[in-house]
Amino acid sequence: MSRAALRLSLLLLAALGHASAGTEHDQEHGGEDPPHSQEKDRDQWGVDYPDCAGTAQSPINIDTTKTIFSPQLRPIQLSGYSLPANEKLKLRNNGHTVLLELPESLAITGGYAQQYRAMQLHLHWGSPSGPGSEHTVNGRRFAVEIHVVHYNTKYDSFKEAMVHSDGLAVLGAFLEVGPRENPYYQEIIQHLYKIQREGEAVLVPGFNIAGLLPANLKFYFHYNGSLTTPPCYQTVKWTVFNQTMLLSRDQMSTLVKTLKNDDNKPLQNNYRLAQDLHGRRVLASFQTTFFLAKHVPSGRDGSDAEDNSSSSFHAGDVLAVLFGLLFAITALSFLVYIYKHRSRNARLDLLTKSKVIYTAATAENTA
């Protein structure tokens, strides 16, 4: 069994896996234009806020065939994110989103070249009929996206930081529907009914804020962009995590249906559409093309990213790997079989030979 043949079979099986995974993705595609009047306003942002019409805007679509693998991107490290229940946080409906104010003790201490303090977090979502993340990955929109907004500790305040090119860092992550209630998100979702109208706020007990982000902070995309709402300052170093999180169907439905906007209409589809990259580079802390990467001519190189079975690899990939493994095991047992067969023959040969020698020896003795 030649190495080339084995490789070819693996490739074929992987391709099959990808083809079947593709149909799943398509069901997740949202409409390209949210059916709400808010979208009209978004086109006009550039009039009052010139940055909104700039060339380094967010969100973007992340095309994983074009991201640049950058091994020097270290895992994001958080500190002070676990808050005691007696520390109360303000949760607010500002008419555009639900926003949780964060104490300054929360910080990003690793993964970025500088230190950033947390300011607030908020969510973007769709409607009962479609997803509403801001960033998309290979054209796919996810149900919900969380943004945890930080500012550089070298500035005295968020206001001062947000006008400087190295001022802000936002951590973004996607949420999808899963089988279980998410206890961390429940700490927010259970209070939404108290802040249905714009401007309403409630104090909620502290909890482990890190639970709102993926467990795996090693795999992410990184690029230079902007705030996704006016004034759209182009001062955000974005981190978008590859691992997604899950909410139960009920949690998702509560999030999407409970809040009202400034028109007293359902607050839905509060996401901005993907903006042009204008030549910007998007880095990845891991190899996005998985094990197929080695065979696709890409001109890039690097070591394999350690797969820690995050939810970020799709069913198709898993199937492909399983089939590949199965094939490898079959090939291996075949080789072992041949080897055993051969060595048994060899042993038989040896036995016959030694018999001959023995016979020869006795013949000699009797001689």
Ligand X SMILES: *[C@@H]1O[C@H](CO)[C@@H](O)[C@H](O)[C@H]1NC(C)=O
The set of catalytic residues is 96
In angstroms, what is the minimal distance from the CB of 262 to ligand X?
A: 31
Q: What residue 137 binds from ligand X, Zn ion, none (CB within 5 to 8 A, per partner kind)?
A: ligand X
Q: Residue 205, preceding bond cis, omega within 30 degrees? A: no
- Site pattern 163..192 for ligand X (x: CB under 6 A): -----------x------------------
The contacts of residue 114 (CB under 8 Å, 6+ apart) are 152, 153, 154, 166
- Site pattern 216..255 for ligand X (x: CB under 6 A): x-----xxx-----------------x-x-----------
Radius of gyration of the chain (CA): 28
Q: Which residue lies nearer to ligand X by CB, 215 or 348? A: 215
Which residue stretches of the chain are H helix?
3-28, 38-48, 158-161, 183-189, 249-258, 315-366
Q: Which residue lies nearer to Zn ion by CB, 124 or 290? A: 124
Q: Per rule CB under 5 A, is residue 150 in the interface with Zn ion? A: no
The tokens 């079959």 sit on which residue?
330
The three-class DSSP label of residue 145 is strand
Number of other CB atoms surrounding residue 11 within 10 Å = 17
- Site pattern 290..329 for ligand X (x: CB under 6 A): x---------------x-x---x-----------------
Which residue stretches of 29-99 are H helix?
38-48
Q: Which residue lies nearer to ligand X by CB, 45 or 221? A: 221
In angstroms, what is the minimal distance from the CB of 305 to Zn ion?
A: 28
In angstroms, what is the minimal distance from the CB of 99 to Zn ion?
A: 9
In angstroms, what is the minimal distance from the CB of 17 to ligand X?
A: 12
Q: Per rule CB under 6 A, is residue 288 in the interface with ligand X? A: yes
Q: Per rule CB under 6 A, is residue 154 in the interface with ligand X? A: no
* CB 206 within 8 Å of CB 88: yes
Report the DSSP beta bridge partners of residue 283: 68, 222
In angstroms, what is the minimal distance from the CB of 222 to ligand X?
A: 6
List Cα–Cα distances, 43 to 31, 97, 98, 141, 235, in angstroms.
17, 19, 23, 20, 21
- How far apart, in whole angstroms, are the C-alpha atoms of residue 176 and residue 252? 8
Q: Which residues bind Zn ion (CB under 5 A)?
A: 147
Q: Which residues bind ligand X (CB under 6 A)?
A: 64, 137-138, 174, 215-216, 222-224, 242, 244, 281, 283, 288, 290, 306, 308, 312
